Chain A
Amino acid sequence: MIKRSFFSLGKPGLKYLSITDPGVAVKDISLPGEVRLLVKDCDVGAINLKVGAPVKTGQKVVLTDDPGCYVISTVTGTVSGVSAYAGYLNQSYASISIDVSGEDQLDEATLAGLEAPTFEAARDYLTSLPGKPDFLSFLKLDPPVNTVVITCVDQDLLVSTHRQAVLLDVDGLIEGIEYLKQVSRIGRVMIAAPSSLVPLVSKAGVDVKEVCDTYPNSLCGMIAKDVLGADYMPAKSFEQMGIGFISAEAVIGLARIFGSAEIPVEKLITVIGKDNVPVMVKARIGTPAGDVLAAVGITASSGDRVVFGGPMSGTSIYSLDMPVLADTDAIMVQDQSQVVLSQDCQCVNCGECVRACPVKVPVNMLVRVLASGFYEEAAEMYDLHACIECGLCNYVCVARIPIFHHIMLGKHEVARIKNAEGSNG
């Protein structure tokens, strides 16, 4: 926890952890007895996968009659259960449990399907690649996505996953860029990197955008704002603005698939203990968080907080059974003595949030409107959609109002209202 300095006039000025050491030790987490894979927006009732069905590592398991609803098994074993899981903001997932049995056997069909770097190969096999690239959004044609930004930066404080991935395999990154161009069919590829990595990634021969080392400059919203300039319109999605993001780890994954015929099923994770010291680990996707923490000797007890992601924008989990996902960059454990609870206070209009906001949202007004449930008014008059979800307003809030929570609920509700109105025809 970084406390406010005694004398303070300006912005919080939280700096990312600096990393320069390429020789960092990455601990391999051993295979767990069971993995759980989560598939987003998949109707559990329609799943026709049988419990007991054998699967191989890398095997594409189509779950329903929809060929787009599939999961790539990250282990060799047998399916042991299918259930529903509701995540953040009520996103629905299907949860597939697989009992791990013995040695990995690579699936031949997947290897054959991934021979050539084509968009179809990416769509059919790579949506759950470590780093979770969103290839489907890259295909959008109206307006077309014309720029892909490779993020060699980490989205949160204390997290160093993507920068370490670059340090560990910069050649893979450079090789992967070629495959990315072929797969995405997008001509303009850029790299967003911190100043320490700029000399390294410049070798790739694409545009490099240097990212400042204070939070929240590494967030995709901030990068999009820099890259797009006047065309940046936060009420739209990145694809609608013609820009796509892919993590460095996913690009390196492309190089391993198309360059050396491997199937990447392991995720690089920064594990942050109660002492805030990060450790790099590599775990099979689907490994329970509890196994990862146990392997690095971190105990989380009742009353502590366990977070997937970093301290500013992560998601807290309620069970150590929660599996590592393709986009889990960090697991953080916070001691109960470090937990600062939100309070049931009103905004006192001190203005700290307004000064902290990197995109000049009138947070003091926004939070009042949101707390009263006027979500559409918040979107129309108080710049709700300009928020890039960094959490700084909440971090500095004197009244300890859960501002970030209010904002995310507001965005969710506005989207829901719009969808409901859209279905009226």
Chain B
Amino acid sequence: MANQKLFISSHAPFWHNGTSLSSRSYNVMLAALPAVVMGIGQYGAAALGVISLSISCAMLWELLLNKAMGRPVSIGDGNAAVIGLLFAMLLPATAPWWTVLIGTFLAIVVGKQIYGGMGSNPFHPSLVAFAIVMLSWKAIVNFDAALVNYDLGFSMVYPLGAVKHFGASAAANYNSYDLLMGMQSGGIGATFGLGLILGGLYLILRGIIRWEISLSFIVGIVITAQLFHVSDPDQYAGAVFHLLTGYTLIGAFFLATEDSSSPVNVIPMVLYGACAGVLTILIRNIGFFVDGVVFAILMMNVANPLLDKIRPKAVGGGIEHA
């Protein structure tokens, strides 16, 4: 046996289509780049600081948790970096460093690792963190207050806030093209609608996110917003306004589509996306909060395992006692 060749022995299949978790994460980050670059362009070094700190803190928390739990180091899969990036994209550029530090802790530890790491998280980790930050330190994510010192050449009044407090007439101050091109106040990476749409389309075409979720989310928002608008045009803004403001587009392409917390079968995906869209508008129009995307998606994350029970029957049943 001394000169026996040692072959690699494993179970079939012996081919793989070459996809990996890390390439998936890096593609998400690549797709987020247009919106992120726009945010950095608008808010300068402050935005860059928040994003860099958020990504690095998220990766550090992940590394610490890996070490503490004696698990293999998993920062290489890029998932922690994506969580950090998405969290930063939701924040205003003025978010203080400790918010980012605590927020990434909440995202990585409370949102992901305590459930068992990537794939086991029932909620989108960035949203868990953002929801806690939003409820705990309201002033930090109040964009009107946070961005008061910026003058970027367009109205720095947060569009959803304006509509919430002054009625649909406030929507007339914003033109759709400007909103699409990022001429609005908001999160660092959440305002450049066109960039988010391009990134989302890239991810859909690459097969990394599911178009069913993104599309049904948008359709849910458009239909519900339009129904509200038709019922009371003075109080409720129109569908296009809701589509291009707040976290709608980042939610549709980057938040609702997270693998672990979203369904995999077609009907559940459509229900999940559409319900999240409807909930978003309900919260925005008749709820307490200015933007509803965060809570709407978190709510639907909870429903995900139940929704995914709606699945096609396997061919021939497959069940023994059938």
List chain A positions with a Cβ less than 8 A from chain B: 1-4, 6-9, 12, 157, 225, 232-235, 300-307, 309, 311-320, 332, 334, 336, 339-342, 344-352, 354-355, 358-362, 364-365, 379-381, 383-387, 391-392, 394-400, 402, 404-405, 408
Contact = CB atoms under 8 A, between A and B. Distances in A.
Nearest to A409: B11
Contacts of A225: 315-316
Given A7-B206, A235-B320, A300-B5, A312 B264 contact: no
A364 B20 CA distance: 16
A12 B17 contact: yes
Given A235-B317, A348-B259, 15 more contacts: A2-B15, A225-B315, A233-B316, A234-B315, A234-B317, A305-B7, A312-B12, A314-B12, A320-B5, A354-B265, A359-B315, A359-B316, A362-B311, A395-B13, A400-B16
A305 B14 CA distance: 9
A404 B12 contact: yes
B29 to A, nearest CB: 16
Contacts of B170: none
Interface of B: 4-21, 24, 72, 77, 116-120, 204-207, 210-211, 259-265, 308, 311-322
A395 B264 contact: no
A311 B119 contact: no
Given A9-B205, A385-B318, A386-B317, A1 B18 contact: yes
Contacts of A12: 17
A395 B259 contact: no
The 10 closest A-B CB pairs, nearest first, are A386-B318, A351-B264, A383-B318, A391-B13, A383-B314, A405-B11, A386-B314, A348-B119, A340-B16, A359-B315
A317 B9 CA distance: 6
B7 A302 contact: yes
B155 to A, nearest CB: 39
Contacts of B5: 300-302, 320
B15 A311 contact: yes
B115 to A, nearest CB: 10
A119 B255 CA distance: 65
21 contacts: A232-B316, A234-B316, A234-B317, A235-B318, A301-B5, A307-B12, A307-B14, A313-B13, A316-B8, A316-B10, A316-B11, A316-B14, A345-B21, A349-B262, A360-B315, A362-B265, A380-B320, A391-B13, A395-B13, A396-B17, A404-B13
Given A2-B17, A12-B17, A354-B264, A349 B119 contact: yes
A398 B314 contact: no
A344 B207 CA distance: 23
Contacts of B204: 9
Contacts of A399: 21, 119
Interface of A is mostly: loop
Nearest to A364: B264
A397 B20 CA distance: 8
B263 to A, nearest CB: 8
Contacts of B116: 346
Contacts of A341: 8, 10
Nearest to B315: A359
A399 B262 CA distance: 17
Contact of B9 (A1, A316, A344, A355): A316
A307 to B, nearest CB: 6
A361 B13 contact: no
Contacts of B11: 316, 402, 404-405, 408
Contacts of A340: 15-16, 18
B315 A4 contact: no
A352 to B, nearest CB: 8
Contacts of A351: 210, 259, 263-265
Contacts of A304: 7-8
Contacts of A392: 13
Given A360-B312, A380-B319, A385-B320, A4 B21 contact: no
Given A346-B117, A391-B13, A379 B320 contact: yes
Contacts, number: 200
Interface centre among B13, B16, B321 (most CB of A within 10 A): B13
Contacts of A305: 7-10, 14
A1 B19 CA distance: 12
A354 B11 CA distance: 20
B118 A348 contact: yes
B71 to A, nearest CB: 9
A227 B211 CA distance: 35
A120 B8 CA distance: 43
A307 B14 CA distance: 8
A418 to B, nearest CB: 9
A317 B7 contact: yes
Of residues B16, B261, B263, which shows the largest number of chain A Cβ atoms within 10 Å of its Cβ?
Answer: B16
Contacts of B16: 1, 340, 394-395, 397, 400
B223 to A, nearest CB: 25
A157 B14 CA distance: 11
A241 to B, nearest CB: 9
Nearest to B6: A302
A304 B77 CA distance: 26
Contacts of B261: 349
A320 B6 CA distance: 10
A2 B117 CA distance: 30
A274 to B, nearest CB: 12
Residue picked from A317, A362, A365, A384, most chain B C-beta under 10 Å: A362
Nearest to A407: B11
A390 to B, nearest CB: 8
Contacts of B315: 225, 232, 234, 358-360, 386
Contacts of B206: 6-8
B246 to A, nearest CB: 27
Contacts of A316: 7-12, 14
B32 to A, nearest CB: 18
A157 B313 CA distance: 28
Given A232-B315, A351-B264, A383-B314, A394 B13 contact: yes
A46 B320 CA distance: 37
Contacts of B10: 305, 316, 341-342, 402, 405
A408 B6 CA distance: 24
Contacts of A362: 265, 311, 314
A303 B10 CA distance: 12
